Amino acid sequence: MGRILVIGAGGQLGTVLTNRLKEIYGEHQVIASDLRPIKAFTGLFELIDATDSGRIEEVVKQYEVEEVYHLAAILSANGEKNPLGTWEINMKTLFNVLEVSRLNGVKKVFYPSSIAVFGSEVEQQNTPQASFLNPSTVYGISKAAGENWAQYYFQKYGLDVRSLRYPGVIGYQSLPGGGTTDYAVDIYHKAVEEVSFSCFLEKDTTLPMIYMDDAIRATVELMQAPIESIKTRTSYNLAGMSFSPEEIAAAIKKIYPNFRITYEPDFRQQIAASWPQSIDDSRARDDWGWRPEYDLNTMTEDMIKNLKAKYSTSN
Ligand code: NAD
């Protein structure tokens, strides 16, 4: 198999995904890249600003890259601070990846979408795959457009672009990068540090979430699936679990009975309120066998065990 390039590898998902790809395909098969140097990576690393298509092309040619994971993006909450700049970055980086890939022999591209593509028009419970998309954020608008471009490049040029609509991703390995579900990572850090947590969402705001291990496994399984199994060419709905801040706090209290949470909703509450509460991922289950493994309690146990180990070695 040819080499794999991960763009935006230094972020919350990229850090974990890059290491997983190295475990599967070998240290020298995977090139990590980001805007800035990333200390965590030991193997091949290249600085790439994905708004610069020439630079992507240089690296793709140099390493004869055959698979690209395009993770670079400005996320939902950060994106609202500069809507036009977010549109520019999210779309330009995607077009650059698609064009460089199609013109330079890249065989497969992974493009992450998000539950942010859904808006007020959808059924909030078990949101179907084929829903009307009226996203409320510029991030969601860019992902909805991006999904359609992914399908367009597959249909028009035969570029094998595959995509998942990730729910909020929760992991101990890395910190989130400015999304609306970031609280669900931060809360575990506060629990393990034994300090109280101020939540930026209301206590009953239920959102779809997924544990990092499941999100990474879904990505790998989607990319390894035979081409004829991939029948959705925009982006697959993906579900792990759904919970509210009050419910995650209750799961944490089973381990830390004195854990305290307060609620101080900010602008992110409005974004969260426009998103589904749970997702119907039956197409992913039927087409390529997707099954999540973690629920709120098993995730909470694993998060706390790993964060405790992390904090005790860093002290
Ligand atoms: P993140 O913000 O943690 O990481 C993004 C990385 O991209 C950062 O390291 C950043 O330096 C890099 N980057 C930004 N602009 C770049 C550019 N112009 N060129 C090169 N690199 C650039 O994001 P994440 O949480 O790891 O998300 C990865 C992808 O998954 C994103 O496309 C995001 O939209 C999607 N996603 C994430 C979640 C989640 O909960 N984390 C949920 C849904 C979708």
pLDDT in tens, 39-50: 888 899 999 999
Instruction: Let me know whether 102 and 222 are in one domain.
Output: yes
For residue 17, the domain's CATH number is 3.40.50.720
Residue 282, in any domain of the structure:
no
Instruction: Let me know whether 189 and 222 are in one domain.
Output: no
Q: How far is the CA of 73 from the centre of ligand 1 (A)?
A: 5
Report d(CA 25, CA 97) in Å as an integer.
22
Closest to 203 measured CA to CA, from 264, 153, 277: 264
Q: Which atom of ligand 1 is nearest to the CA of 75?
A: 34
For residue 267, the domain's CATH number is 3.90.25
Q: What is the pTM of this model?
A: 0.97
Instruction: Let me know whether 63 and 185 are in one domain.
Output: no
To the query of whether residue 139 is one of the catalytic residues in this protein, the response is yes
Ligand 1 lined by 166 (C-beta under 6 Å): yes
State the DSSP code for 233: S
Instruction: Let me know whether 137 and 95 are in one domain.
Output: yes
Residue 226, in any domain of the structure:
yes
Instruction: Let me know whether 89 and 200 are in one domain.
Output: no
Given 63, 69, 111, 139, the catalytic residue:
139
pLDDT for 31 equals 98
pLDDT for 315 equals 66
Structurally, how many domains does the chain consist of? 2
Can you give the residue range of the structural domain that contains 24?
A: 3-169+211-237
Q: Are 133 and 144 in contact (CB under 8 A)?
A: yes
| Cα–Cα distances in angstroms (integers) from residue 70 to residues 51, 52, 76, 123, 189, in the given order | 12, 14, 17, 29, 28
Residue 288, in any domain of the structure:
no
Q: Spell out the per-residue pLDDT of the chain, length 315, in tens.
A: 789 999 999 999 999 999 999 999 999 999 999 999 998 888 999 999 999 999 999 999 999 999 999 999 999 999 999 999 999 999 999 999 999 999 999 999 999 999 999 999 999 999 999 999 999 999 999 999 999 999 999 999 999 999 999 999 999 999 998 999 999 999 999 999 999 999 999 999 999 999 999 999 999 999 999 999 999 999 999 999 999 999 999 999 999 999 999 999 999 999 999 999 999 999 999 999 999 999 999 999 999 999 999 998 876
Which tokens hold the place of 271? 């974004």
Q: How far is the CA of 115 from the centre of ligand 1 (A)?
A: 15
Ligand 1 lined by 185 (C-beta under 6 Å): no
Closest to 131 measured CA to CA, from 276, 287, 245, 293: 276
Q: Which atom of ligand 1 is nearest to the CA of 48?
A: 20
Instruction: Let me know whether 265 and 188 are in one domain.
Output: yes
Instruction: Let me know whether 188 and 132 are in one domain.
Output: no
Instruction: Let me know whether 134 and 194 are in one domain.
Output: no
